[in-house]
Structure 1
């Protein structure tokens, strides 16, 4: 045994000890299921329980437990896990109770053995959760699988129950040997990553599917030696052989120095960071190369590089260049600079390959900076400690969900169905009789709208609007028109538009958009494209149609309809209707002539020469703030938007701002609670860092995002722009730097700089800075933001108005909006109806508490 092998063994032993001593992370959810087994199965240091033990719910009566023939799993790692399987002959699922929503590893184990009753190699099936298709088509016979095949996924589970469904394809069968559902730390994939498309930074999107996990230069790592039970393979089989290349493996016997904010023992085992492969610097070859086989269908991949400088004797000696195919990841990487002179500290870097090569190869090159090659003997060669490659957006198929109720026996099902039908019939009969009686009594019985075959049971506000046919029109006789019954209590005509939240027939929308003609597209987003359209009655609308490949689905569609059907405000975009025929998910909104606030800030062909003035920008910010205030205060529980950004603030014909896109909105905490724990959603650059870190959502998360909007409106530049010099890349950091120095005027958009009064800019900057406080508790409520923006507008409009003038009671009265809507009186409601219960037709913008606080504490604002 040579010294290197001895060193590796020693490092492995030390690392294993350190791994267990550092394994402080305890998963909230830790399901280990041995499928088809009747007893627990011990695998290493873990025990997989039987799938009929009660720890999970098996939702199928069309399944069978099968066992592999003796001797069919010789020499396999974790062979005991593959000796049994659960076979499904009809769509079936496992349901897991999730105690803590968030990121989870889901691992599915497959080994296609042949039992007496089933040949698992002939299986063909798909696997999905409620929100993602994990495997669109798995056929062991086509894949030539004769070895155990584990599939690992990283999901963001936002529900209280995770359902994993197995669906046999083409009359075949499905199977699984084992299932793992394990919580992972929130920060495992919390950061953004560089991308091959222009080196911009984008957030890492889940789900991810593991393709490779490699310990470069070190031994294979078993699952028991990883705090998150991951398996790491050796790198030799991927290392490209090339004439003249010389590498050596390194083993570090010292202590690793974990730095705050950098890699942790949960990101990779210490054995990965304590071993590495180094390129011996010769003049013939100046790079190491690894080659990985991936799908030939171009896909996006997240590649994580792990480093730990275990080769340098002093700082600033190591310099590393990294390339993926023809893309540059980083050049001149000096780990000691990142660690402020520290060596041997674990570090990782993420890179997103937007589209893999059609050849089905991912090639990674590690080289040394050209400045170091001139005197290569004086410097160590470039190193790499570990590689992880994860596939992104791995399937666009439709999800299948088999709910838990299907697990009941036929007799239970029959009894429950009969009981439910009888009970429902009785309740419906009574309800119908009561409604008919009351409507006849009032003399206002309305005709029932005709429903499409795709009618859903959650049609909002159906009973408040009627479908009437009008006389002949230019569009044709009898064209349907969707109108509000003005005699109905609480009915709200919104700007003369069609009645909100009504189901529209698909044929009408196809005609209005010329069968969704591309020339009518006025925008596009994660949900799909937005088309300009005119309804038969002449109403202009914006039609948002879900695209088949959209990663936003029915949940966002339903959220938008249910939310906007119950909320009406002049600073919220009104939902006119929707269509859900067949597989279509289409939303209709009032048409906003001037598009998004973002488009008017940055301009383009459509807005050339029409940049918003400073006064128009202030008015737009104040209007958007009023819309958010209404969301936060109109209902018993606040509605948190979660995606406040300039592209979701739209401008109507009069440049009035309206908040739009409520697909990610979520109900806030109850009165006796401080927050809602939920998965992090939003847009990169606008997401509240406190929410991203703790996953605790409050209305103050919207306040942070709105603070980013305030800076974007003032500076008219993107929130994150990697093309700029490093200090300017992040708008928030850049603008707050100048705000802290009292020189915010240096970053104002030059097109409006001359029009901005110093007093107004000072107050505006203070307002934005307070919204962007690191802790949510230190940020103002939205009502205070509205008040501050109104004050800014007065400071801008009135020559000579100063902060001291806020002590004037007359000024305070002029600035004070009406009372809180939740305290409005009955006669106010009668005056305006829902959403129009105050004299000027708006809901309140500030409470009297906020006004009083502002009067006595002006300096703090």
Structure 2
């Protein structure tokens, strides 16, 4: 338990004296607490002294804990003496460290599970947090690991809390709390947003995910002024034959305004990876590293550069990429200080990641005449940034492949998030009480219909025809009790999970009448997920269309927010194009799927008083039913279009990497033409069956849209189509399809077609594919279709009245569900509940 102030000060002085030798040649931290948990004696590791557990117990407040020791570690990978003892916490416990110098501090937590008595530490599960941040959530560990965090501490004490999960326990082998130089993490950094630099970085809590020494060996903490460890890059490098190691440690120089020895040691700046161009002046490839990361978080990526390769100034120019983004163009390392071998670094903050992979690449530039193809990188640090809830762990807010979900989650964001959650909780409470009161008053309508015809609207017809609408006299389309949802998902069986996002998880389910459903279970802790969840309700409560995924029901019992959708048997369009092993699609099926998706988007753009802009059109959001009929899904980012007297909506950029409209990105002005651009990318994705962004490919092929447009403009699109389609696509169908995609990808929205025009041309491409006329099939097919549809060869001359008439009937049909908004009015309006 905590002791008196006098002994506390004595311990502080003792700790400082014991480790004064640490970093003697570099930065000397004011606050420097090193503890060997569970150890009866001090432990010296690499010249640093970790004090005995008893000496440090003055900082610990714990109702119940146990000291543990083992002569043999469970894992054989690390024999550090710090891993041979531990302190085990059976209940919530806190370390409180006096902070003499406010500012950024390292918090390093050492874990190595072993068995001690009845405690098997590999089975432990617990949280680690400070008053402002969650570092670890439901954390468990099977092997030795050091988790390194840093945070800006402004209070007089830093309190670190260990909270066991459920009936489990927490443990810790060693602990560091150490001051960090203020200039190590500056307040701003470059971003992907052209608007400029991101501010407020100094207030961000960070977790070091990777610290890599490119082209060199491990640099241990003994050889780093801040006690960091740098690992070799080889295990992250894609294509070892493309890279070559460079070393010249003696040449490294530190100058004012650049890096210091605290930024990275000589051993990092003095080694590098370069392009293995084999003296070929025409070499054109990128050197790429791939790292596993947690989706949904932003990352601070720090590139360390030092030109130890060149023999003269302004000789080396190259580009730097994060995923598909060009973050540094024509970089000249010698130009930083007009000298060779000068160390410096560049910081970039990513958008919230959408994948569990983050790729970093360097490659030659083609815009500098005479530049020899080469590039170097000396070191790399990747640091996870806390989300808007202050967390560095657990499920992050869903980004729906968003390119710009948020800037930094600073204190203001945390406060707003808390307020929103409280308000939503209050709305739930009021609504639930109202429902219970109505039930007590004899209200026998336990089930609230979602549509005016009392059932869920389903389509009978072809994959893209207007078809007919039928209703099901079943328990679909109602407010479904939680017990029924629980049963339908086999008690939310984890093996039934078919998708995960920041809002929570999506489960496959089967209702008691045998109907298959997809169950989206909202996570009340996710601010971003709740916002998108509400948008999805609002959108789907207004629209019903055979090519939009249908909302079957909802559940709002037990503080849950659950949506139940029709189950799409064949998953996503993306899964049938590449990467999943799903059966390949023939050209006719692909055309019909594109037509179906275009119908759904056309309805969004035209079927209501104001256009609805999806904002996240991509192959992963086009779902296929058992008949391969396409339905557009995921309306969490959707936004109502501009007023009649306006041309656009000004809004923060949201969308998906590779699909994002560059005009929307530049101007932050949203119109339905942004969906058109994204759909154009989908068309090329359907044709070529490859990812829209693939940094592992040669530089000119990384971005699918740019690569395909080059071949389209050459008139040689057939050279890059999916190999399974070769010889199976009629040339005129391919020509019309390529022209349609090209129009969609016009640089300026005003030059792009409407979705109705896109739909018209896709149907024409299908007609060209299926036309069978005696004689010359290709020439005659063109003439025949031209007579049927004389105006559809040119977007700018298409008769919009004809397009409007063509879709009028289906629009009327599909508005049958608009009354659903009444059901959800209490969910989506702040004055409800």
Given the two structures, how large is their TM-score scaled by the length of structure 2?
Answer: 0.51
Decide whether aligned partners of structure 1 residues 306 and 758 sit closer, same or farther in structure 2, where only a CA change above 3 A counts: same
Once the 2 structures are TM-superposed, how far is the Cα of residue 648 of structure 1 from its aligned partner?
1.0
Superposition pairs for residues 639-654 of structure 1, below 5 Å?
Answer: 639-654=612-627
CA separation in 1, counterparts of 2:333 and 2:153? Answer: 46
Which among 566, 569, 586 is matched to residue 542 of structure 2? 566
- Which residue does 1:186 correspond to in 2? 195
Give yes or no for contact 1:316–1:336 (8 Å, CA) kept in 2: no
1:68-88 per-position Cα deviation (integer Å, ceiling 9, x unaligned): xxxx9999899xxxxxxxxxx
Where structure 1 has 5 or more consecutive residues not aligned to the other structure, the ranges are 1-71, 79-90, 93-106, 114-119, 127-141, 157-182, 191-204, 213-234, 253-270, 289-296, 323-327, 356-379, 408-420, 433-445, 452-458, 467-481, 485-491, 837-861
Superposition pairs for residues 184-223 of structure 1, below 5 Å?
Answer: 186-188=195-197, 209=205
1:631-661 per-position Cα deviation (integer Å, ceiling 9, x unaligned): 0111222111111111111112222111111
Structure 1 stretch 346-355 or stretch 693-702: which is displaced more?
Answer: 346-355
CA separation in 1, counterparts of 2:375 and 2:590? Answer: 54
Once the 2 structures are TM-superposed, how far is the Cα of residue 626 of structure 1 from its aligned partner?
0.7
Once the 2 structures are TM-superposed, how far is the Cα of residue 724 of structure 1 from its aligned partner?
2.6
* In the alignment, structure 1 residue 449 sits paired with structure 2 residue 445: yes
Once the 2 structures are TM-superposed, how far is the Cα of residue 541 of structure 1 from its aligned partner?
1.3
Which among 553, 568, 584 is matched to residue 577 of structure 1? 553
CA separation in 2, counterparts of 1:184 and 1:833? Answer: 38
- Which residue does 2:730 correspond to in 1? 757
CA separation in 2, counterparts of 1:386 and 1:122? Answer: 30
CA separation in 1, counterparts of 2:528 and 2:815? Answer: 34
- Which residue does 1:112 correspond to in 2? 155
Secondary structure at 1:834 match in 2: helix
1:793-817 per-position Cα deviation (integer Å, ceiling 9, x unaligned): 1221224445565653676799999
Secondary structure at 1:510 match in 2: helix
CA separation in 1, counterparts of 2:692 and 2:518? Answer: 27
Superposition pairs for residues 304-703 of structure 1, below 5 Å?
Answer: 304-305=302-303, 307=305, 314=312, 338=331, 348=346, 389=383, 391=385, 393=387, 394-396=392-394, 401=417, 403=419, 449-450=445-446, 464=452, 496=472, 502-525=478-501, 527-546=503-522, 552-602=528-578, 604=580, 607-608=582-583, 611-703=584-676
- Which residue does 1:834 correspond to in 2? 816
Give yes or no for contact 1:499–1:577 (8 Å, CA) kept in 2: no
Give yes or no for contact 2:103–2:153 (8 Å, CA) kept in 1: no
CA separation in 1, counterparts of 2:501 and 2:263? Answer: 43
Once the 2 structures are TM-superposed, how far is the Cα of residue 507 of structure 1 from its aligned partner?
1.2
Give yes or no for contact 1:623–1:658 (8 Å, CA) kept in 2: yes
Where structure 2 has 5 or more consecutive residues not aligned to the other structure, the ranges are 1-97, 105-130, 133-149, 164-174, 209-223, 232-247, 274-293, 339-343, 354-373, 397-413, 424-429, 458-467, 773-778, 793-797, 819-833
Decide whether aligned partners of structure 1 residues 820 and 287 sit closer, same or farther in structure 2, where only a CA change above 3 A counts: closer
Once the 2 structures are TM-superposed, how far is the Cα of residue 712 of structure 1 from its aligned partner?
0.8
Give yes or no for contact 1:546–1:586 (8 Å, CA) kept in 2: yes
- Which residue does 1:294 correspond to in 2? none
Once the 2 structures are TM-superposed, how far is the Cα of residue 789 of structure 1 from its aligned partner?
0.7
Give yes or no for contact 1:154–1:208 (8 Å, CA) kept in 2: no
1:774-830 per-position Cα deviation (integer Å, ceiling 9, x unaligned): 2222211111111111111122122444556565367679999976489969x995x
Secondary structure at 1:553 match in 2: helix
Decide whether aligned partners of structure 1 residues 707 and 801 sit closer, same or farther in structure 2, where only a CA change above 3 A counts: farther
Secondary structure at 1:516 match in 2: coil
CA separation in 1, counterparts of 2:253 and 2:183? Answer: 28
Superposition pairs for residues 137-216 of structure 1, below 5 Å?
Answer: 186-188=195-197, 209=205
Once the 2 structures are TM-superposed, how far is the Cα of residue 395 of structure 1 from its aligned partner?
4.5
Which among 774, 787, 795 is matched to residue 808 of structure 1? 787
Decide whether aligned partners of structure 1 residues 318 and 186 sit closer, same or farther in structure 2, where only a CA change above 3 A counts: closer
Once the 2 structures are TM-superposed, how far is the Cα of residue 697 of structure 1 from its aligned partner?
1.5
Secondary structure at 2:554 match in 1: strand
CA separation in 2, counterparts of 1:753 and 1:680? Answer: 38
CA separation in 2, counterparts of 1:447 and 1:777? Answer: 54
Decide whether aligned partners of structure 1 residues 565 and 690 sit closer, same or farther in structure 2, where only a CA change above 3 A counts: same
CA separation in 2, counterparts of 1:153 and 1:500? Answer: 55
Once the 2 structures are TM-superposed, how far is the Cα of residue 494 of structure 1 from its aligned partner?
5.7
CA separation in 1, counterparts of 2:641 and 2:524? Answer: 31
1:221-248 per-position Cα deviation (integer Å, ceiling 9, x unaligned): xxxxxxxxxxxxxx96468899x96565
Give yes or no for contact 1:108–1:152 (8 Å, CA) kept in 2: no
Give yes or no for contact 2:420–2:527 (8 Å, CA) kept in 1: no
CA separation in 1, counterparts of 2:720 and 2:665? Answer: 27
Once the 2 structures are TM-superposed, how far is the Cα of residue 498 of structure 1 from its aligned partner?
5.4
Give yes or no for contact 1:272–1:385 (8 Å, CA) kept in 2: no
Once the 2 structures are TM-superposed, how far is the Cα of residue 662 of structure 1 from its aligned partner?
1.0
Give yes or no for contact 1:248–1:279 (8 Å, CA) kept in 2: no
Decide whether aligned partners of structure 1 residues 276 and 525 sit closer, same or farther in structure 2, where only a CA change above 3 A counts: closer
CA separation in 2, counterparts of 1:390 and 1:795? Answer: 51
Once the 2 structures are TM-superposed, how far is the Cα of residue 308 of structure 1 from its aligned partner?
7.8
- Which residue does 2:283 correspond to in 1? none
Give yes or no for contact 1:302–1:391 (8 Å, CA) kept in 2: yes
Secondary structure at 1:788 match in 2: helix
Give yes or no for contact 1:531–1:542 (8 Å, CA) kept in 2: yes
What is the root-mean-square deviation of aligned Cα atoms in Å?
A: 6.4
Secondary structure at 1:186 match in 2: coil
Once the 2 structures are TM-superposed, how far is the Cα of residue 318 of structure 1 from its aligned partner?
6.1
1:137-175 per-position Cα deviation (integer Å, ceiling 9, x unaligned): xxxxx997999999999999xxxxxxxxxxxxxxxxxxx
